[in-house]
Structure formats: structure tokens, C-alpha cells
Amino acid sequence: MKCPYCGGFDTQVKDSRPTDDGTSIRRRRVCSDCGGRFTTFERVQLRELTVVKRSGRKVSFDRDKLSRSIEVALRKRPVSEERIERLVNGLVRQIESLGESEITSEEIGRIAMKGLKALDDVAYVRFASVYRNFREAKDFEAFLGELSTEDEGRPEGRGDAQD
């Protein structure tokens, strides 16, 4: 692990324990070169996943990229950081539990949209506008029409979005 202070690679773990939510390991480290102390958080990765892009190009799955796109969709929405982290953890678990070593970017988008829809309608529409590549206002109108039709069959109150 590289020291954030001096850039040295000779760091030692002084303490290691699971985080409260159990999704990662918190490690306290000390740099042998400069004596700097810092904390890292490490996540368990069940399998190495490859994302197949629309162009056919293959890249390694990046949890942080998924997290950033979810956070952008939820920007300035009344959703706590804890709920966002739980959503991202759940999405990653869903993706990993598919049992495949390759997954298409479209499938990741569908899974993310499903999670966002249960959490926040505005974020769901924001994410969909990028995922479905909306180009004109009529694209939004058509999508919102689909959303309204789907919501007619759902009970009032959106109880699924509450903790």
C-alpha cells in the first residue's frame, strides 16, 4: 500500500477490523519511511468481473465508477450517504451473484435503474436519461409516460423507499 504522505511502499498494518456494516475491512497503517499514519478500507471482491461495453470493448468492473454514477444521479436529493452506500453494496452483490465473469454495461444499467427506482424517482429519471441516451425533450416525455403507467399499479406512499 502506497503512503499518501511520502509515496513510499513500505507500510505496515498496525490494526485491522471489520467495519460496522461488515462490507469492508478497516486497516490502520504506518509508513516505515516517514512514520505517517493513515487508514485504508478494503472490500472483499467475490470474483473478477469484466464489463462488456456497447462497443464490444472489455474493461474490469469498477465499483467506484458505479458508485460515482449513482451519487451523480442522487446529487442534491434527500438521501443519506448511508442509504447510498447500502444501495451500491446491494447492486454490487446482485452483479456478483449473477455467477458470470462477464456482464454487459446494459445489464449493469438495468440493475442500477431498478435500485434507484425503489429509492428515488428523480434520481431514477436522471440515471435513465444518461443510460438510455435521451437526446430531446420528447425522450423524457415518453419515459415519464412509461413511469406514470407503471406507478398507477403501485400503492400510494412509496413504502419501499423508507427505512
Per residue in 64-109, pLDDT tens? 999 999 999 999 999 999 899 899 989 998 998 888 899 999 999 9
Higher pLDDT, 66 or 157: 66
Q: 104 lies in a domain?
A: yes
| CA nearest to 22, candidates 80, 114, 86 | 86
pLDDT digits (tens, 9 = 90+) for 120-137: 989 988 898 887 778 788
User: Both 133 and 112 in a single domain?
Assistant: yes
Q: 34 lies in a domain?
A: yes
Q: By residue range, what is the domain housing residue 28?
A: 11-43
User: Both 105 and 137 in a single domain?
Assistant: yes
Q: 82 lies in a domain?
A: yes
Give the whole-angstrom CA distance, residue 79 versus residue 161: 10
What's the whole-number mean pLDDT along residues 42-71? Answer: 88
The HSE-up count of residue 53 (CA atoms within 13 Å, CB side) is: 8
Q: 6 lies in a domain?
A: no
pLDDT exceeds cutoff 80 at 154: no
- What mean pLDDT is reported for the chain? 85
The HSE-up count of residue 70 (CA atoms within 13 Å, CB side) is: 33
Query: How remote is the C-alpha of 151 from its chain's centroid?
Result: 25
